[in-house]
A and B are shown apart, each in its own frame.
Chain A
Amino acid sequence: MSDHKHEHDAKRPDPATMTEAEYRDYMADPHAFHPEHHGAGEHAHDGEGHHVTSLFQLRAVLGILIFFTVLTVASSRAEIWVADTFDLYIPTLVNVLIAMSIATIKAVFVVAIFMHLKWDNRLNLLVLLFTLMGVGLFIGLTAMDLGNRKEFYDWKGDQIVAGGTGGSAGFVALTRSARGKDEPEVIPTSLVEHARNRAIQKYGEAVFAEKLAQKHGHHDPMPARTPNRSRATEGLTADLFDTTVPAGGDH
């Protein structure tokens, strides 16, 4: 396997210190000082020296990946089961950390074995690490900004609210039924409310309530979720639509 690491530290011969004969030699064989290309014989030139991963290794990695997939699903289901059965709520952060750690472990196996990075040129690993650093900076600093709008001045915080109201007024509807009309249909309310109003118009209050109950009615009302606590349920946020919690979420 050729190793280009050495290419850079190859000591350059200094023609200034050579005798005339040495210098002529040197000029006649320009590559002689570059042995990792030409001195090591021809066998290294055709990719035969590259690492061949054994089938056993590949299958073992596949097994590991499937195991971790099952594990991450199981942990997610277990959390819901624990919440339902024991009324025990595990903080969201734990949930996120477990899922992301497992995903990272899986990713490491894919990158190291399937993508041969374990045996590959270190430079490729460096490319990957730099990229991940860039990704981290991007997501981290952006999220930090949008999560810290009220950090210093309260008066300014009132003016800067991350995200929007979700009020959605003023959109031109793009649904199929709306497209047929001559006048563009402008959505007067939030998109969610608009969809609901349209359904009520279509089915009538009673039928709609029945349908809604079919969708969500079997869920027990759960305590409202806080940013620190996962609301691990099968269903959806009960009554959230009617509460007066501002749409900004955690404000």
Chain B
Amino acid sequence: MSTIDTHAGHSSHGGHHGSYLTSKGSLWADVANWATTVDHKKIGVMYLVALLTLFFFGGVMALAVRVELLEPTRTVEVAGEMVTTGQRLGVLAPDGVSPNNIYNRAMTLHGAIMTFMFIVPGIPASLGNFFLPLMIGAKDVAFPRLNLASWYVYVFGSLFALASAIVGGIDTGWTLYTPYSTMTDADHWRVVAMTTGVFIMGFASIMTGLNFVVTVHKLRAPGMGWFDMPLFVWAIYATAIIQVLATPVVGITVLMLIFERLFNFGLFDPRIGGDPVLFQHFFWFYSHPVVYIMILPAFGIISETITCHARKKIFGYKAVAFASLGIAAVSFLVWAHHMFTSQGELTAAIFSFLTFLVAVPTAIKVFNWISTLYKGSIVFNTTMHYTLGFLFLFTIGGLTGLPLATLSTDMHLHDSYYVVAHFHYVMFGGTVIAMLAGMHHWWPKMFGKMYNEPAAKLGFWLVFLGFNLTFFIQFIMGAHGMPRRYASYPDEFQTMHIISTFGSWMLLAGFLVHLFTFIHSLIQGKPATANPWGGMTLEWLAESPPDEHNFAKEPIVKHGPYDYDTVVPPNYDPADYPLPEKPYTH
């Protein structure tokens, strides 16, 4: 076993400018500094704040939807109250707005906020922005000003979209399918505002993706070849490729949709000769790859946390890395599986086949993670809880996708709660859980504070159980024929809906606990050392929180990112965080 002190960037030999969080003096100086910063870390944190704010709004909408579904016909208390309040405030027309209409809008907003504004930019823009340059030993991303511009564009686009919510919201469903998006709601401007918001946020996504691709190509530290990169970097790289190649198509789609809405352009309108299914092709050519924009960074986080907290080299590094690229490639070949019920049979058959291909690289990843755990020295901290939770939930989510990829079963399950449960298991059980894993893993690095481990674990169990309570029952509901997006339903489904709604409250409680632990940590958390978990990737060489220029000296890569079996991280003090016995042996 070699114990090489490789770490040129170790902070103990001075010359650093102070942490990036260091105040510039006055409050105004700080605000000005953060508003004009080109530092990827600050931009990452700014993204995180914006994202979590929007996650909160989207979550409120979800809770409203769940409350509405407590009763089979309608819940007058909530939706009716919202109607009267809206009318009193003058944002809703005095007539023609029913509680069902409110329900449709809440459901649409939940979907639109969570997908376009939270989960698509989610991990890459926040954690990716913060850690990608750190992990490859760079001082910043390739185009720092573009990075800042991306944040502003994103916020601007979100405000545009939220403006449509404030003046009453849209009821098209987040997919903006025509003719809902061209014919419902006599008021054009809300749909136009939402689609314009999506268009603008597309630019933010492209800027981020473009930046990351170039960063990975051009700014890796000396000695870091492609196969020395941490797998999170691979995942972000694959994600960035999808962002660059898929997002422009949604740009043109929503542009056409705006033309359609304003001038009845006709491309998607059968009255002029257009085809609504064409819109679905346009939309899903973007929005299916986007599903992988959402999940690939989550895979990357899991590769980091599972190795670090099981103190084990990743099993099959290249397989996991290439699986990321494979998923990115296949993601462009499967979009029409969202339209099995509306497209021609020939295409449906081809796309069904192609869809099954996605299972291959995904399964490679899951098996490799499980193999990584084998004989690892697993540390059961919050991060590991979330990592294992991810494996469990994502596997359910992935396997329940297979019946949806099969043409015959999809005819039955399409647009039912089964689909809702499936994608929540993948998107929430996958991405959000992994993001929580990443946040707990990197929290000490980002803010230089430890959090209360037992409280965080409590949060995990609430989130985990609440999530399963909310969504597992929906598989059964869907298989029994409960269609998605309906405000009213037959009485026989009520018990299951009530269970689901209780689950959503538990989920809320879990998030509140996490909010509390994070805030508590910021205020009076124990200061974190540079490397509290004994991580091997380069970001753990920086200070906690990192210096303004990341590393005091450009780091040189001399060991792989997961060489836990041969190298002891030099700045790691087991006293900070006791390891189990015999941590470095097989």
Which residues of A are interface residues toward B (Cβ below 8 A)? 4, 7-10, 12, 15-16, 23, 27, 30-31, 33-34, 37, 123, 130-131, 134, 137-138, 141-142, 144-146, 148-153, 156, 160, 162-171, 174, 191, 247
B335 CB to closest chain A CB, in angstroms? 8
A116 to chain B, nearest CB (A): 18
Q: Which residue of B lies closest to A152 (CB)?
A: B345
State which of A12, A23, A27 has its C-beta within 8 Å of the C-beta of B557.
A12
A174 and B281 contacting across the interface, CB-CB below 8 Å? no
The residues of A that contact B222 with a CB separation of less than 8 Å are: 30-31, 33-34, 37
Q: Which residues of B contact A247 (CB under 8 A)?
A: 273
Report Cα–Cα, A144/B278, bound state, in Å. 11
Pairs A–B under 8 Å by Cβ, sample size 22:
A7-B220, A7-B225, A8-B226, A9-B225, A12-B225, A15-B2, A15-B4, A16-B2, A30-B556, A33-B222, A34-B222, A130-B245, A134-B245, A137-B333, A138-B249, A144-B347, A145-B343, A148-B347, A152-B346, A166-B272, A168-B271, A168-B272
B580 within 8 A of A: no
Contacting A at CB under 8 A, from B185-236, are: 217-218, 220, 222-223, 225-226, 228
Q: Please tell me if the beta carbons of A30 and B554 are within 8 angstroms of each other in the complex.
A: yes
Alpha-carbon gap, A142 to B282, bound state (A): 8
Q: Are B270 and A165 in contact (CB under 8 A)?
A: yes
Q: Is A142 within 8 A of B278, CB to CB? A: yes
Cα of A192 to Cα of B579 in the assembled complex, Å: 78
**A31→B220 CA distance, assembly (Å):** 13
A33 to B222, CA, bound (A): 8
> Nearest A residue to B278 by beta-carbon distance?
A146
Residue of B nearest to A156 (CB): B345
B332 within 8 Å of A (CB atoms): yes
For B226, the chain A residues whose CB sits under 8 A away are 8
Inter-chain contact A148/B556, CB cutoff 8 Å: no
Q: How far is the CB of B130 from chain A (nearest CB, A)?
A: 25
Binding site for A on B (CB under 8 A): 2, 4, 6, 8, 217-218, 220, 222-223, 225-226, 228, 241, 245, 249, 263-264, 269-275, 277-278, 281-282, 285, 332-333, 336, 343-347, 350-351, 554, 556-558
- CB-CB < 8 A to B347: which residues of A? 141, 144-145, 148
With contacts A151-B346, A171-B271 taken as known, whether A33 is within 8 angstroms of B223 at the C-beta atoms is yes
B346 and A142 within 8 A (CB): no
A9 contact set on B, CB distance < 8 A: 225
A130 to B226, CA, bound (A): 20
- Per CB-CB distance, the 4 closest pairs between chain A and chain B, nearest first, are A164-B270, A145-B347, A152-B345, A151-B346
Contact residues in B for A163 (Cβ distance below 8 Å): 270, 273-275
* CB <8 Å contact, B270 and A8: no
Other CB < 8 Å A-B pairs besides A8-B226, A174-B263, A174-B264, 8 of them? A10-B225, A12-B558, A15-B2, A134-B332, A138-B285, A144-B347, A145-B281, A164-B274
- Inside 8 A of B285's CB, which chain A residues have their CB? 138, 142
Beta-carbon contact of B4 and A151 below 8 Å: no
Contact A146 B271 (CB under 8 A): no
Docked CA distance A146–B270 (Å): 13
- Chain B residues with CB under 8 Å of A23's CB are 4
Minimum C-beta distance from A40 to chain B (A): 15
Give min CB distance, A167 to chain B, whole Å: 6
Q: Are B245 and A131 in contact (CB under 8 A)?
A: yes
Contact between A151 and B345, CB atoms less than 8 A apart: yes
Closest to A157 in B: B344
Residue of B nearest to A9 (CB): B225
**A151 lies within 8 A of B344 (CB):** yes
Distance (whole angstroms) from the CB of B541 to the closest CB of chain A: 14
CB pair A164–B271 under 8 Å, yes or no, is yes
> Closest residue of chain B to A192, judged by CB?
B272
- Supposing A141-B347, A152-B345 touch, asked if A146 and B277 sit within 8 A by C-beta, the answer is yes
B residues within 8 A CB of A27?
8
Task: Pick the residue among B8, B274, B281, B344 that contacts A30 (CB under 8 A).
Answer: B8
Question: Are B344 and A160 in contact, CB atoms less than 8 angstroms apart?
Answer: yes
Contact B225 A166 (CB under 8 A): no
Cα(A80)–Cα(B278), bound, Å: 33
**Known contacts A148-B347, A151-B346; A142/B281 CB under 8 A:** yes
By a CB distance below 8 angstroms, the chain A residues around B345 are 151-153, 156
Do residues B344 and A164 form an inter-chain contact, with CB atoms below 8 A?
no
Q: Are A166 and B273 in contact (CB under 8 A)?
A: yes
Question: For residue B220, which residues in chain A have a CB less than 8 angstroms away from its CB?
Answer: 7
Give chain A nearest CB distance to B372 CB in angstroms: 23
Q: How far is the CB of A169 from chain B (nearest CB, A)?
A: 7
Is the Cβ of B344 less than 8 Å from the Cβ of A12?
no
Kindly provide the distance from the CB of B101 to the nearest chain A CB, expressed in whole angstroms: 22
Q: Are B344 and A148 in contact (CB under 8 A)?
A: yes
Distance (whole angstroms) from the CB of B239 to the closest CB of chain A:
15
Closest to A10 in B: B225
Rounded to whole angstroms, the CA-CA distance of A83 and B509 in the bound complex is 76
Contact of A12 among B4, B223, B271, B278 (CB under 8 A): B223
B225→A191 contact, CB < 8 A? no
CB neighbours (8 Å) of A166 from chain B are 271-273
Candidates B245, B275, B336, B351; contact of A164 at CB < 8 Å: B275
- Give A192 to B245 CA distance when docked, in angstroms: 38
* B223 with A34: CB separation less than 8 A: yes
Contact B272–A137 (Cβ < 8 Å): no
Given known contacts A30-B556, A34-B222, A169 and B271 CB-to-CB distance under 8 angstroms: yes
CB A23 to nearest CB in B, in angstroms, measures 8
B558 contacts across to A, CB distance below 8 A:
12, 15
- B281 / chain A contacts, CB cutoff of 8 Å: 141-142, 145-146
Q: From B245, which residue of chain A is reached at the shortest CB distance? A: A134
The interface residues of chain A lying within 8 Å CB-to-CB of B346 are 144-145, 148, 151-152
**Residue numbers in A under 8 Å from B269 (CB-CB):** 164
Please measure, in the bound complex, the distance between the C-alpha atom of A150 and the C-alpha atom of B282, giving whole angstroms. Answer: 21
**Which A residues lie within 8 Å of B343 (CB)?**
145
A145, A162, A163 interface centre (most CB from chain B within 10 Å): A145
Cα-based distance from A242 to B429 in the complex (angstroms): 59
Interface centre among A9, A164, A168, A191 (most CB of B within 10 A): A164
Chain A residue at smallest Cβ distance from B345: A152
